[in-house]
Amino acid sequence: MANISNTAQREHNRDLCNALMGKQDKKVIQVCQALPEGPLQRVCANNDTVLHMAARSEQSDLVPELLELLPGDRSHRLVDIKNNAGDTILHEVATSDNMIGGLLFEKNYSGEMPIFCAARYGQILMFIFLADKMKLKKRSSEEGKPHLQRNDRTTVLHISIVTECFENDTSWELEATTTVPNCNSAPNLVERQNSQESSTSEPKKSDETPLFLATISNNPEIVKAILAFHPHALENTNKKGRNILHEAILYRQIDIFDLVLEYEMFAKRLLTATDNEGNSLLHMVGKKRKSQASEKMQSPALQLRNEMLLFEKVKSASRMHFSKALNRMNQTAEELFAATNDQLHREAKEWLMRTTENCTIVAVFIATVAFAAAYTVPGGPDQSTGIPILNCQSFFVLFILADVISLTLALTSVGIFLSILTSSFPLRDFKAYLFKKLIQGIICLILSVSMMAVAFGATIILIMAHNWENALWHVVAFLPVPIFFLSFSPLRSAFLGTCRELLKKLGLLVLVIFLALPIFLLWEAVKGLFKTLAWGCASIDKSVRWIFRNRSQPTSDTHSLQLAGGHRSEV
């Protein structure tokens, strides 16, 4: 190896890194030609060579050119060129579909062959290529097994489930063709995998079976495929003595829970099973695992409600008397659930009180405005009779109705919110009662604000009725109503979906109002537009008539003067 100073090496490494990041292939080739090690030059702290970095960055055109720079006596050394992680160049190549590998059976320090890396990174085309070159279809399951698992006995199927590689039929087929001779679909893969893992009907205790991994990762399709060929896998338990239903409840995979219940032959035993700590399925509802990102976006009250609904679901599925069973800690399922969710219960109580107080303040303000508007009608009253001057106008009737409805709904929502604030907030009420009350109050509040906007629009129309910009005021006055409707439509859908049975009639009324009101307002705006156009046409017609009348008047006066002059001459 040539003697190159450390400074020169650092400069060369810097130039190579910059050229690789900038994808300057010509410069990389030029620098490598000037180095004794060529493309095998170590360029970073991880001891990656130029070939490692080029393969990792998917520069498929550069890699063949770098390989041509290797001397003939060094090509066989590629299997020995590894970085600090033990990865050869092919390990890097296998992470991309754009690269083609040649070192098929070399393992890194974790025992991963390049084909395993291709599966881990979800590179299907590279996986198919390597499987074909390794002739795995012609190998028996025992011969192919070492190539498809690493030192910790994690197989390609395990890693594919964890990384969610099976998103389409192609990936299933590819996995099958490399695991089982003459396989064409995913079921064959699952059947073979299960036959390897469980040659007898004795339940297996493991945390790493594909069935448990698919359950934890929420892959119902894989669970269904496994159970289709090996239903006895349902009897498998992990090291803590938990079956698939325990894990499904612990990780809140309700779809898989419902799927397993369809297997009635095994479901009865699974529903009554307990783990090594004596925890039943109901106890697992109280075993709180780390919250997922979707739960962190929910309010505490909604989280608590979902937990209680899950408790009721599991309780109804299992035997009723089993809910009183004690675990090793002498706790019933209800006691464990209450203890686990104590903090969540306090947070839900605070959130509900804070939300209710804010809604109550808004409802009182709306009621105050609606009450005052009833005594200050647009146009004012007649001084002699006290009857509103504009009471014969259609929009005045609309104003009165909207104001009365707004006031009524606002006071109703205040009463509902006060009933929530005076509640003792027991845990059982968070399942239905408190949520129904909150939803009723918010729906009344939304309708009250909507009616207030309608009353405001009607007032604007009545005040500006004699203005030539009548059509514009029709549109502007009622603009807040559709905006308010669009803003709360997702919230309305969520509310009505939550209490569909209780508020079915009220929900239908809300839907009719929200659909009919914009149509009515649009119709009134169109009518105002046509009235304005008619008024404009009439004004133009009057102007034209007046112009022609003024033009004809001087001619008539001249003719009269001529007749008068002739009469004088005759005299």
* pLDDT tens figures, 77-109: 666 777 777 777 667 666 665 555 445 666 666
Domain end: 340, 375, 408, which one? 340
Q: Residue range 163-176: average pLDDT? A: 45
For residue 42, being part of any structural domain is answered with: no
Inform me whether the pLDDT recorded for 295 exceeds 80. Answer: no
What CATH number does the domain containing 268 carry? Answer: 1.25.40.20
Inform me whether the pLDDT recorded for 500 exceeds 90. Answer: no
Provide DSSP, 372-423: HHHHS-TT-B-TTT--BTTTTSHHHHHHHHHHHHHHHHHHHHHHHHHHHHTS
For residue 512, being part of any structural domain is answered with: yes
Inform me whether the pLDDT recorded for 346 exceeds 80. Answer: yes
On whether both 361 and 390 belong to a single domain, the answer is yes
Tell me which of 91-105, 173-187, 545-559 is least confident: 173-187
What span, in angstroms and rounded, lies between the C-alpha atoms of 119 and 521? 60
What span, in angstroms and rounded, lies between the C-alpha atoms of 83 and 32? 18
Q: Residue range 422-426: average pLDDT? A: 88
335: Cβ contacts below 8 Å, ≥ 6 apart: none
268: number of Cβ within 10 Å:
13
pLDDT at 1: 44
**How would you classify residue 294: left for phi > 0, otherwise alpha for psi between -120 and 50, otherwise beta?**
alpha
On whether both 324 and 202 belong to a single domain, the answer is yes
Inform me whether the pLDDT recorded for 377 exceeds 80. Answer: no
Domain end: 340, 371, 401, which one? 340
Residue corresponding to tokens 């397993």? 260
On whether both 452 and 330 belong to a single domain, the answer is no
On whether both 329 and 379 belong to a single domain, the answer is no
For residue 292, being part of any structural domain is answered with: yes
Provide DSSP, 412-468: HHHHHHHHHHTS---GGGGTTHHHHHHHHHHHHHHHHHHHHHHHHHHHHHHHTTTST
Domain end: 284, 318, 340, which one? 340
pLDDT at 517: 60
What Cα–Cα distance (Å) separates residue 139 from each residue in 154, 189, 221, 448, 467? 20, 15, 28, 74, 90
On whether both 531 and 421 belong to a single domain, the answer is yes
For residue 409, being part of any structural domain is answered with: yes
pLDDT at 473: 55
On whether both 368 and 470 belong to a single domain, the answer is yes
Number of domains observed in the structure of the chain: 2
Structure token pair of residue 554: 């001087």
On whether both 229 and 333 belong to a single domain, the answer is yes
On whether both 513 and 366 belong to a single domain, the answer is yes
Closest CA to 393 of 466, 475, 291, 483: 466
pLDDT in tens, 182-214: 334 444 445 445 444 444 444 444 456 788 888
Confidence of residue 69 (pLDDT cuts 50, 70, 90): confident
On whether both 276 and 222 belong to a single domain, the answer is yes
For residue 24, being part of any structural domain is answered with: no
For residue 23, being part of any structural domain is answered with: no
3-state SS class at 59: coil
For residue 158, being part of any structural domain is answered with: no
On whether both 401 and 306 belong to a single domain, the answer is no
Scored b (16 or more CB within 10 A) or e, 209-219 reads bbbbbbbbbbb
For residue 530, being part of any structural domain is answered with: yes
pLDDT in tens, 314-326: 888 886 556 677 8
What Cα–Cα distance (Å) separates residue 191 from each residue in 120, 154, 198, 210? 21, 18, 11, 12
43: Cβ contacts below 8 Å, ≥ 6 apart: 13, 16, 17, 49, 50, 53
Q: 457 lies in which domain range?
A: 354-552
Inform me whether the pLDDT recorded for 428 exceeds 50. Answer: yes
Confidence of residue 360 (pLDDT cuts 50, 70, 90): very high
On whether both 327 and 369 belong to a single domain, the answer is no
